[in-house]
Structure 1
Amino acid sequence: MELLFLALLVFLMALALGSGFPVAFALPGSAIVTVAVAALCGYVATGNPDAYFSHGGPWQWLSAGVTNLRGVYWEVERDTLIAIPLFIFMGIMLQRSKIAEDLLVTMAQLFGPIPGGLGISVVFVGALLAATTGIVGATVVAMGLISLPAMLRNNYSKSLATGTIAASGTLGQIIPPSIVLIILADQLASAVDQAGTARKALHKAATGELSMPSSFGVVSTSAGEMFLGAFIPGLLLVAIYMLFILIYALINPKVAPAVHGGTFDKAFFAKLALALFPPLGLIFLVLGSILAGVATVNQAGAIGAVGAIMMAGYRLKDGSKDAYAPVILGLASLIGILAVLMIFQPNVKAIHTTQDALGVFLGVVATIGLIIAIGWSSWRAFKIENTLQEVMIETAKTTSLVFIILLGAAMLTAAFRAFGGEELVRDFLNGLPGGFWMKFTIVMAVIFILGFFLDFIEIAVVVVPIVAPILLADPSANITAVWLGVMIGLNIQTSFLTPPFGFALFYLRGVAPPIVKTLDMYKGVIAFISLQLIALVIVGFYPQLVNYLPNRASLTSETAPPPRNPRLDYCVDKYIHDQFVTKGAAINSAIAEARQLNLDYLPDRLKTGLEQSFEAAEEAPVLMAQAWEADDRINAAVVDYMPVQERVRRIQADIREEDEEIDDLKITIGRMRSDDQAEARAKLEARVADLEADRERLAAEIPADWKETYATFKALLKEETILSGKFRRAAGDGYKPVAEIVATLQDNAAYADLQADLMQIQSNLATADAADLVASIEDLSSRASEVEGASDISSGLSRVRRSLRNETPDFEKATEDMTELVADYEAQLDWRNQAEVNLLPTLERYEATIRGTLGIREQRRFDNEQALFVAACQSDHRDVSHYF
């Protein structure tokens, strides 16, 4: 019966959408009606309204959608959706203030003399508008009104002209900032949690181990990472569009002839700069602040909204003498704020000098100037053509539509899960032959087909929550959420072009002249849909195009994970291995030179530690080589092992499903004790017997030698894990003692500076007051704690201080402890001075040589070379299914 109501749910949704019923009400309406009908039928047929739900009841599922959306939107740590109205406002403001119109006209004149130049200019402007607005409707309408007549006037093919405009207008869906990327990031954040839980359960079921290594965890994403990940694929799509138009125009000049006209004089280039640089500046502020890690997506959205108001402030007063006054004031104020931050450290609570007060004063003046500039521009937008009010109304309408659809989709997804739809989809996908890539291909094909009938928002919020956890949980491809999100975003983008419901086609049809037929538009978009699919295939084969920038930004930021992070182990070891191959001779030479040093005058602890570190350093490359040999043996064995493992794991998954159903049926049978339930109980017992027989049949399909095969392969995995662990320990043991002694000797000057105060305290013990002595000792102890290798001095001073802090100060004990402390200090100073001359230069060279290999995990963060290597290494997908 659950399948019947699941079919009813899909039918009602398709009927409502196909009849033109508003999407915002079709999604929750079909969910509410189906849940209500299922509850009513359950109550009438069995007296239990929960009877026809796979689990839970009607009230639970009706409230689940609202609860889920509220938890996402009002949760403090997940405020991603706040960026949506900000970017919508920015896009509509730029479109209403005719910034886009200026850009199109100017770029068309610039590219016109090139074959296909008008088309290339449309793509170029579409990319710029995508990076500043992300609003498809506004972009397509603007370019349709301005560019289409010019292209037709210059004898462009109708299909090529309309296809170029429609496709270029959709670039806002993949080039950040993009609303669809924000929504996908939000949906994928929840999917990652579910996928992580599923993968842990899979690892436990396969290996029997209670915990899964964190390096096998599902990699999450955020809106900022989605923007970074989509940046290169977006540029790739722009390049493919331009290349197609250029080649098509060269092959068949009649469809896209070059346009000659206009002069490229100073006036033109001034106009070009005025049209091009402000949008580029806004792109730099919005995307640059995200890429550089200066601002979050929400903060970047606010920057974009303010920037759009500032640009509208001068464009709406075009031709007026004071048109640029607000933006000039704003730029001057920003420069002033940056200068204050660079020269001073403005902090109202930390004003101690005249310079501090001056920095705060200048900062306040510059901030007031910026506020005045923003207010001035806003007032202009409010008074001129009522622009600000209309933009805010449109923003409110569009934002409300997005959030109502999100709410409706959350309710629809909850109803889909209520009738076991999610389990049905998971079982279908997991049952497909061909592993992850077959599942992924089927999902992408379904999304592409749905794009013919549904908008991008419906696909993103209905389909993604169902299929994303299944794809992300699969360890065979071990894909990242950002790659999956960008791939889905590229696929969803085609929904704007695919007939019959391609929204870009509707937008363009509304502004196209009657001479352009709808059939011309359909013909025109076919080529660009094919180009989008080509881009999809390229990004699918080269995940580095998506993953590299987010990885690079993460590993080079101030909050970068340390090299010791377990998630980075594989790539860090790969970097060390490559360094051993290329610089092994230099490392061995440095070790040999260090071993020749005379360490006899060092304290026993330091001498023994250094000698052991040299031994560990010599052993580490050998262990590393053995670990990689073990990895090679695993890769060789995987070829024969994986087909058997995949077959067995599938059988075991089927057995677990049988066991779950058997357990549920036995519970139900145990509750059926009355005589009138005997017949029903007998049927259930027969069903249990059939399931148990089926379970036995499945168990018999597992190869007889599976346990032996698994044990042999697991031994290989264990060997590699042990060798890798030994190498990492040897590397740490080989580096840390050297780093500590180098840091100690480099602090010799600070250590010597303690001598005078130590002697002063020792001489004052006979005459000074105990309280004064304690104050002096505490001050010296604080200084000693900042000196590398002076912990013994701090401990000795603490003993002296305790003797003086008693109710009756024990000067005799304090003097004895102080005498011993001074003797220890002088002895340490002696060997420090000798070591600084005889050991430090060689040890510094040695430490610098092994820092990037044996000592890489002891560093606080990667250097630039290491970060870029690890970012590139992590950008590819790595199959880890043989560990499951």
Structure 2
Amino acid sequence: MLETYELIVIALMASFILLIFTGYPIAWVLAGVSFWFVVIALWGAETLDWDTFMLDRWIRFSVIVDRIWSQMQNSVLVALPNFIFMGIMLDKSGVAEKLMQAFTRLFGSLQGGLAISVCAIGILLAASTGIVGASVVLLATLSLPLMMAYGYSRQLATGVVAASGTLGILIPPSIMLVIMADQLAMSVGDLFMGAMIPGLLLGALYIVYVVVISNVSRGVAPHPPDAPKVTLGLVLEALRAMAAPAALILAVLGSIFFGIATATEASAVGAFGAMLLALINRRLDWRTIKDVCYGTASTTAFIMAIFLGASAFALVMRSLGGDEFIAHMLKSLPFGPDGIIIVILAIAFVAGFFLDWLEISLIFLPLVAPVVRALGYDPVWFVVVFAVMLQTSFLTPPVGFSLFYVKGVAPKEIETRDIYLGVLPFVAIQLLVVFLVFEFAEIALWLPREVYGAAAR
């Protein structure tokens, strides 16, 4: 029979899930549920009188304030606005337009060449921006009208744009990995290196899928009849277009990987580098700076509001014994250690249909991470495989944000059904990478081991 605290924990989680569908901002839902369940829990406690009850409640809430204040002082989170600024500034710098023009000419004569170009640019943008919304919108704006004009399948065109644009949440520098590292007190550099190979593998499999489907079903991705043949000049043009983002990637990730700078310091280098690229391309003016600053402030405020609400929610959950309850439930499963990990990943996959990666990372991940450590799994490996699974949340309806981004800027002839059907093969590819990282842990652990000369910490 369930204990009283267990019933309160279940009611807390159920209330949060139900209130999500009311349409209220998720940050206020988290904070509001936390407030009322502290009151409910204390009201049910054996308090002697009203004064004792009020004092106990004040102590509980003061702990929440202290937790929020300590998180606001965390220097690791300074990397968030810097990486966001870098991503938005890079999207306005004109680098992506040059890449699209060069790659379209280079791959245009191939079957599915335009879709291959989108995948390649998506990988480069992911390694230099990390902002999914900006990448998806930019790729859709640049490539969808072109692919529609050349007779591409609407499903393939929208699917490849939505999937390629989400690579930035996994390939470093990733704000998701920064937040995960902060929540679990892990090294950002370890997670960046651990996610590098799985992220590149995912992008490569996208390209393989495009090549296969384009040659098997030739009508879905025809090559333009006027596309130029591949020449040394086109290759050099593509390399020149890649030089700027490659230099930014080297400055940011190279400084982290080689121990020159921390992730926070490297994020400042990236923000400054993005401004230099915009200046070189003559895209840096007062209006651009103002728009980028507004966008950075808005996105950072959105993330931090959820961050604070989730912190209060997690603290109340732990105060009610929710972490012990979840740990007991997972350990009591009759599946063995690997089975428990599969259940955790399955829950994360299903939760991605209704929640954003941010809520899952802030609420669910800290609750299951101690169980994973107790089972003896490498925390870097688990966080990486968990992050790959969370990437599906951008492509799974009804709240897949990449789907909304594509629909918002897609040509009128593209319907929502086309987008939903178009992303299904790419969700399957994401699940395949989850399986590969799950079965072959070295995919996530080899690079950190090579850099540090020992197992990832």
Give me the TM-score of the superposition, normalised by structure 2: 0.93
Distance 1:516 1:147 in 2: 13
The answer as to 2:37 corresponding to 1:71 is no
C-alpha spacing 1:258/1:411, structure 2 compared with 1 (3 Å): same
1:327-359: CA deviations, max 9, x gaps? xxxxxxxxxxxxxxxxxxxxxxxxxxxxxxxxx
The aligned counterpart of 1:589 is: none
Q: Which residue of 2 aligns with 1:488?
A: 386
| 2:130 aligned partner, one-letter code | G
Letter in 2 for 1:304: G
- Aligned-partner residue type, residue 151 of structure 2: N
* Counterpart in the other structure of 1:414: 315
Do structure 1's residue 150 and structure 2's residue 146 form an aligned pair?
A: yes
The answer as to 2:97 corresponding to 1:110 is no
**Structure 2 residues without counterparts, runs of 5 or longer:** none
Distance 1:259 1:58, change over 3 A: farther
Residues 64 and 411, structure 1, Cα contact 8 Å, conserved in 2: no
Which residue does 1:450 correspond to in 2?
Answer: 351
Letter in 2 for 1:419: L
Contact 1:85–1:399 at 8 Å: present in 2 too?
yes
Q: Is the 8 A contact 1:131 1:283 kept in 2?
A: yes
CA contact 1:188–1:481 (8 Å) conserved in 2: no
Matched, 1:179 2:80: no
**Aligned mates of 1:428, 1:30 — CA distance in 2:** 23
Deviation, 1:60, is 4.3
Equivalent in the alignment of 1:429: 330
* 8 Å CA contact 1:483, 1:543 repeated in 2: yes
Percentage identity across paired residues of the two chains: 39
Question: Out of 267, 279, 283, which is 1:313 matched to?
Answer: 279
The one-letter amino acid of 1:408's match is G
Deviations 1:507-527 (A, max 9, x none): 111001221111111111111
Greater relative contact order (Cα 8 A, min sep 6): structure 1 or 2? Answer: 2
2:377 counterpart SS class: coil
Q: Distance in 1 between matches of 2:64 and 2:431?
A: 33
1:137-181 CA distances to partner (integer Å, 9 max, x unpaired)?
A: 000001111111111111111111111100001100110000001
What is the alpha-carbon distance in structure 1 between the residues aligned to residue 420 and residue 351 of structure 2? 17
* Cα distance change, pair 2–316 in 1 and its aligned pair in 2 (3 A): same
Shift of 1:115: 1.5
1:448 Cα offset (Å): 0.5
8 Å CA contact 1:185, 1:226 repeated in 2: yes
Whether 1:546 and 2:447 are equivalent positions in the alignment is no
Task: Give the partner amino acid of 2:17.
Answer: A
TM-fit CA distance, 1:99: 1.9
Any idea what the Cα deviations from partners look like across 1:718-771, whole Å, max 9, x if unmatched?
A: xxxxxxxxxxxxxxxxxxxxxxxxxxxxxxxxxxxxxxxxxxxxxxxxxxxxxx
- How far off is 1:42 after superposition? 4.1
Confirm whether residue 503 of structure 1 aligns to residue 395 of structure 2: no
Matches within 5 A, 1:503-522: 503-522=401-420
Cα separation, 2, equivalents of 1:445 and 1:528: 17
Aligned match of 2:11 = 8
Q: Which residue of 1 aligns with 2:251?
A: 285
Q: What are the equivalent positions in structure 2 for 1:644-663 lying under 5 Å apart?
A: none
RMSD: 2.2
Counterpart position of 2:306: 405
Deviations 1:465-518 (A, max 9, x none): 1111111122xxx22221111111101100000001000001111001221111
Q: 1:598-677 counterparts in 2 under 5 A?
A: none
Check 1:433–1:49 CA distance in 2 against 1; reply closer, same or farther (3 A cut). farther
The residue type paired with residue 289 of structure 1 is S
Structure 2 Cα separation of the partners of residues 471 and 13 of structure 1 = 24
Does structure 2 conserve the Cα–Cα contact (< 8 Å) formed by 1:131 and 1:172? Answer: yes
Q: Could you say if the C-alpha distance between residues 233 and 113 of structure 1 is closer, same or farther in structure 2, counting changes exceeding 3 Å?
A: same
Residues 1:300 and 2:266 are matched in the alignment: yes
Residues 385, 438 of structure 2: 8 Å contact kept: yes
SS in structure 1 at match of 2:366: helix
Deviation of 1:48 (Å): 7.7
Question: 2:83 is matched with which residue: 83, 87, 93?
Answer: 87
Offset at residue 41 of structure 1 (A):
4.6
**Offset at residue 104 of structure 1 (A):** 2.0
Partners of 1:93 and 1:309 within 8 A in 2: yes
Match in the other structure for 1:256: 221
Which amino acid in structure 2 is aligned with residue 395 of structure 1?
T
Distance of 2:201 and 2:50 partners within structure 1: 56
Alignment match, 2:423: 525
Picking from 535, 539, 548, the partner of 2:433 is 535
Q: Is the 8 A contact 2:102 2:241 kept in 1?
A: yes
Quick one: which amino acid aligns to residue 522 of structure 1?
A: Y
TM-score, length-scaled by structure 1: 0.49
How far did 1:266 drift?
7.9
1:254 corresponds to which letter in structure 2? G
| Amino acid corresponding to residue 312 of structure 1 in structure 2 | A
> Partner residue of 2:28?
25
1:253 aligned counterpart, secondary structure: coil
Write the mapping of 1:133-144 to structure 2, written as runs, cut at 5 A. Answer: 133-144=129-140
In structure 1, how many angstroms separate the alpha carbons of the residues matched to 2:45 and 2:171?
Answer: 49
Decide whether the 8 Å contact of 2:170 with 2:195 is kept in 1: yes
**CA deviations over 1:169-206 (Å, ceiling 9, x no partner):** 110011000000111111121xxxxxxxxxxxxxxxxx
CA distance in 1, matches of 2:105, 2:59: 61
How many Å apart are 1:536 and its aligned residue? 0.5
Aligned with 2:242 (options 276, 295, 300): 276
Instruction: List alignment gaps of at least 5 residues for structure 1.
Output: 190-220, 318-380, 556-870, 878-884
* CA offset digits 1:789-846 (Å, max 9, x no partner): xxxxxxxxxxxxxxxxxxxxxxxxxxxxxxxxxxxxxxxxxxxxxxxxxxxxxxxxxx
Aligned to 2:297: 396
CA distance in 1 between counterparts of 2:62 and 2:191 reads 30
Q: Secondary structure at the match of 2:41?
A: helix
Match of 1:231 among 171, 188, 196: 196
Deviation at 1:420, TM superposition (A): 2.0
Instruction: State the match for 1:795 in structure 2.
Output: none
- 8 Å Cα contact 2:20/2:26 also seen in 1: yes
Give the SS at the match of 2:127.
helix
Deviations 1:90-133 (A, max 9, x none): 00001122222221232122112112211111111001000000
Question: 2 CA distance for matches of 1:439 and 1:405?
Answer: 28
Q: CA–CA distance in 2 between the matches of 1:470 and 1:48?
A: 39
Give the 5 Å matches for 1:550-569.
550-555=448-453
Q: What is the letter of the counterpart of residue 272 of structure 1? A: A
Letter of the aligned partner of 2:335 in structure 1?
G
> In structure 2, do the counterparts of structure 1 residues 14 and 166 end up closer, same or farther at CA, with 3 Å as the change threshold?
same
> 1:227-269, CA deviations, whole angstroms, 9 ceiling, x for partnerless residues?
1111111111011111111111111111112234344678756
Output the amino acid matched with 1:154. Y
Counterpart for residue 341 of structure 2:
440
Return the offset for 1:389: 1.4
Q: How has the CA–CA distance of structure 1 residues 30 and 50 changed in structure 2, closer, same or farther, with 3 Å as cutoff?
A: farther
Q: Distance in 2 between matches of 1:536 and 1:272?
A: 32
Query: How many residues get paired?
Result: 452
Say whether the 8 Å CA contact 2:106–2:234 is kept in structure 1.
no
Looking at structure 2, the residues matched to 271 and 156 of structure 1 have their Cα atoms a distance apart, in angstroms, of: 25
Residue of structure 2 equivalent to 1:855: none
**1:32/1:306 Cα in 2 relative to 1: closer, same or farther (>3 Å)?**
same
* In 1: Cα distance, 2:101 partner to 2:63 partner: 50
1:301 to partner: Cα distance: 0.8
Change (3 A) 1:66 1:102: farther
2:161 corresponds in structure 1 to 165
Supply the distance in 2 between the matched residues of 1:109 and 1:122 (Cα, whole angstroms). Answer: 12
Rounded Cα–Cα distance in structure 2 between residues aligned with 1:158 and 1:479: 42
